[in-house]
Amino acid sequence: MNEGSYRRVDRALLLTFDDRHVREWAAVAPLFARYGARVTFFVCEPDRLDGDEARMLRRLADDGHTIGCHGMRHERATDFVAAHGAGAYLDREVVPALESLRRLGFPARGFAYPCSARDESTDRLLLTLFERLRGGVPAERRADPSLADELRVPAAELPSRRVLPGCSVDSGRGAVVFDDDLTGVEAALRRTSDEGGVTTLYAHGVADAQETNHITPARLEKLLALADDLSLPCVGFDELP
């Protein structure tokens, strides 16, 4: 992966997409290319990718995007460990997902927690297998300007910060339309542009409407345009130092 591009900058937007919406992600690859944006796709149920989806994911990786792991069956880490133990969590939920991605040719060095459900013990466990993890802040905080402090990780802390907080930028789910106010997210991007470091955001599918969590193409483009206006590069997890 292109590590040099990150070293030239000390600030970035980490835009990430979760679950298994490979066809939708591939469809917006030209949008990413137009903004010179590289993003991260955290894939769950990798064993259920069909041949076309595996090829699309390969193409996205070849374009410079990062492919990460999001679990085998999208289990909440903390609940699964509480119910079955840490060993079973790794054996049933994490290692098979990692092996499945690696069989497809993706090293998957990062992991995003399903539903952002994590604690320090699951962090310790997963950091034996992954270089970086993505957690989350409550989605309702995205309108709060003070979110910038929590979401932005300063550049000096990046080498030691192995768990990055992310904030949802999804537009809705089914008939539910999420709060349109992204004041906190925009504040974090401005702050990252001004002071350096990284801000991590996450979405799922990319569609104008759909049953599962999704961001509209219009909102996605608005975020990419804002980062571009702020001269904030959009890079994948694998490009972090």
Q: Which residues bind Zn ion (CB under 5 A)?
A: 18-19, 114
Find out whether 17 and 201 touch, Cβ atoms under 8 Å: no
Identify any residues that bridge with 134 across adjacent strands, giving them in sequence order.
112, 164
- CA separation for the pair 128, 90 (Å, rounded): 10
Q: Least distance from C-beta 195 to Zn ion, angstroms?
A: 30
Closer residue to Zn ion in complex, CB, 18/53: 18
Q: Least distance from C-beta 75 to Zn ion, angstroms?
A: 10
- CA separation for the pair 204, 15 (Å, rounded): 11
Closer residue to Zn ion in complex, CB, 18/238: 18
- CA separation for the pair 9, 58 (Å, rounded): 26
CA of 48: how far to CAs of 37, 45, 81, 202, 204, in Å? 27, 5, 24, 22, 17
Q: Least distance from C-beta 19 to Zn ion, angstroms?
A: 5
- CA separation for the pair 213, 172 (Å, rounded): 6
Q: Least distance from C-beta 203 to Zn ion, angstroms?
A: 10
Q: Least distance from C-beta 114 to Zn ion, angstroms?
A: 5
Please say whether the dihedral angle defined by the alpha carbons of residues 74, 77, 78 and 84, taken in this order, is positive or negative: positive
Closer residue to Zn ion in complex, CB, 19/238: 19
Q: Least distance from C-beta 196 to Zn ion, angstroms?
A: 29
Q: Which of 237, 234, 241, 240 is nearest to 106 (CA)?
A: 237
Closer residue to Zn ion in complex, CB, 18/24: 18
Closer residue to Zn ion in complex, CB, 19/24: 19
